[in-house]
A and B are shown apart, each in its own frame.
Chain A
Amino acid sequence: MKNEAVKIIKAKKKYILEQWFQNQLENDGLREDLITNEDQRIQSEELINSFAASISDTNFDNFQSRDFEKIEDILSGVAISRAKRGFTPRETGAYVLSLKMALLKTLSEEIKDPVVLYTESMRINSLLDNFSMITFETFIKGREDVILRQTDEITEISTPVIKVWDGILALPIIGTLDSSRTQIVMENLLQEIVETGSSIAILDISGVPAIDTLVAQHLIKTVSATRLMGAECIISGIRPEIAQTVVHLGIDLSDVITKATLASALKTAFGMIELEVRKKATSKVL
């Protein structure tokens, strides 16, 4: 038996597209602020065309058929671009589901026998449900890509090197120190030492949540590199719990000058370049 639904879909392509577009207009699926009417129309037409082209009697019940690969590609493309443009999941879902509505409506107008209509509708239903699942999966993937990109951007927030005094640089490190971050920190620091001709660098780790062996190793490397440049490095911002942890881990930081606070590191730095900070002589001496 030749499949009724397939025949109708192929023949009534234009009509289905009109119906679908009508549905999209009625739904919240159309976001003129995010996508133009024209673009959406082209997108929908492309999808309907390849749907009508690839559907046949043999693959109608088998959504995994290779014939549908093109449709899956189009759907994934639509879903990913929508996720990135900021469509809501509901709007993206409505896109495919409104196609289903259009198809079912067309079938109900064309097929008069209720039994045939029912079976054909069920088959369309399960096929389109699978398509909407693909859309959903790729939509989430698209959103995950956005999140991943943001994560990368956050970790890339460059660590500023601040000149706190003539010859003294400070480098506040916030967040986790991993290999790539250490590389950036080290490059910035060494470059800045050359440019400003500084002789002391203060690495402030108050904002580093935990110091494990890898972070410690990175710190030690940074300190060694600074020393090779002829500058001295002070690590400040060692909190009590960090100190205890480092001792238990067995990391030897005794070669490095460490201070609990940035203030005491600065004081040490002043001492090293033989500067003295005093109250003005005019102020009243108690």
Chain B
Amino acid sequence: MIVILNKDAVSITREQDTILLRNRVKEWATKIGMGLVNQTKLITAASELVRNMLKYARGGVVNIEIVSKGRENGVRLIFIDKGPGIHDINLAMRDGYTTGRSLGLGLPGARRLVNEFEIQSVVNEGTTISITKWKNG
């Protein structure tokens, strides 16, 4: 069972907000004693997803949570936007697929960087992505 120990939210409207989010995530990850490598992975994944959010949905909200499962703590980030949604999630999760002119590694890369990755998207309503990185994951 996953227990939420602490909660915070960062609203994303501009590119500069990504820096704020990254710092906040780093702060929380440090607080639970996450190692540097895992921290960097989590921050990079967050950075990918938040860039997508800004690019396709022009912003949204990121909830930061410290979660606990059994004896392990972790950081969970939930990215919520009210953008155009994703038509084909399976396609979007494929390496190298992009609708913008990017590398097409953001979503699949972010999934590889974290321990748990959940994506829900409704076309024209928005997308919610939840990622969790365990302290020693």
Q: Does B37 lie within 8 Å of A244, measured CB to CB?
A: yes
Which of chain A's residues have a CB closer than 8 A to the CB of B103?
A: 213, 216-217, 251
Binding stretch for chain A, among B2-10, B43-51, B73-81, B82-90? B43-51
Which of chain B's residues have a CB closer than 8 A to the CB of A210?
A: 22, 40, 43-44, 47
B36 at the interface (CB under 8 A from A): yes
Which of chain B's residues have a CB closer than 8 A to the CB of A213?
A: 48, 102-103, 105-106, 109
A217 to B112 CA separation, bound complex (whole angstroms): 18
A209 to B95 CA separation, bound complex (whole angstroms): 24
Of A178, A211, A213, A242, most B-chain CB atoms within 10 Å: A213
A178 to B47 CA separation, bound complex (whole angstroms): 12
A216 to B105 CA separation, bound complex (whole angstroms): 11
A176 to B43 CA separation, bound complex (whole angstroms): 13
Which of chain B's residues have a CB closer than 8 A to the CB of A211?
A: 44
Q: Does B108 lie within 8 Å of A250, measured CB to CB?
A: yes
- Nearest chain-B residue to A178 (Cβ)? B15
A151 at the interface (CB under 8 A from B): yes
Which of chain B's residues have a CB closer than 8 A to the CB of A244?
A: 37, 40-41
Q: Does B19 lie within 8 Å of A176, measured CB to CB?
A: yes
**A211 CB, min distance to chain B CBs, angstroms:** 7
Q: Does B109 lie within 8 Å of A240, measured CB to CB?
A: no
- Select which of B15, B37, B113 is within 8 A of A240 by beta carbon: B37
Given known A213-B106, A248-B113, contact A241–B15 (CB-CB < 8 A): no
A248 to B15 CA separation, bound complex (whole angstroms): 24
A245 to B108 CA separation, bound complex (whole angstroms): 13
A214 at the interface (CB under 8 A from B): yes
A275 to B63 CA separation, bound complex (whole angstroms): 54
A166 at the interface (CB under 8 A from B): no
1/0 per residue, CB under 8 A from A, across B6-39: the answer is 0000000001101100100000000000001101
Q: Does B36 lie within 8 Å of A209, measured CB to CB?
A: no
Within 8 A of B (CB), among A202-241: 209-214, 216-217, 240-241
A249 at the interface (CB under 8 A from B): yes
- Select which of B40, B105, B108, B112 is within 8 A of A241 by beta carbon: B40
Within 8 A of B (CB), among A138-193: 151, 155, 176, 178
Other A-B pairs, 11, CB within 8 Å; known A210-B47, A213-B102, A241-B40: A151-B16, A210-B22, A210-B40, A210-B44, A214-B51, A241-B39, A245-B41, A249-B44, A249-B112, A250-B112, A251-B109
The 9 A-B residue pairs with the shortest CB-CB distance, nearest first, are: A249-B109, A241-B40, A212-B47, A241-B37, A248-B112, A213-B105, A213-B103, A245-B44, A210-B44
Q: What are 28 A-B residue pairs whose CB atoms fall within 8 Å in the complex?
A: A151-B16, A209-B43, A210-B40, A210-B44, A210-B47, A213-B48, A213-B102, A213-B106, A214-B102, A216-B103, A217-B102, A241-B36, A242-B40, A244-B40, A244-B41, A245-B37, A245-B113, A248-B109, A249-B44, A249-B109, A249-B110, A249-B112, A250-B95, A250-B105, A250-B108, A250-B109, A251-B103, A251-B109
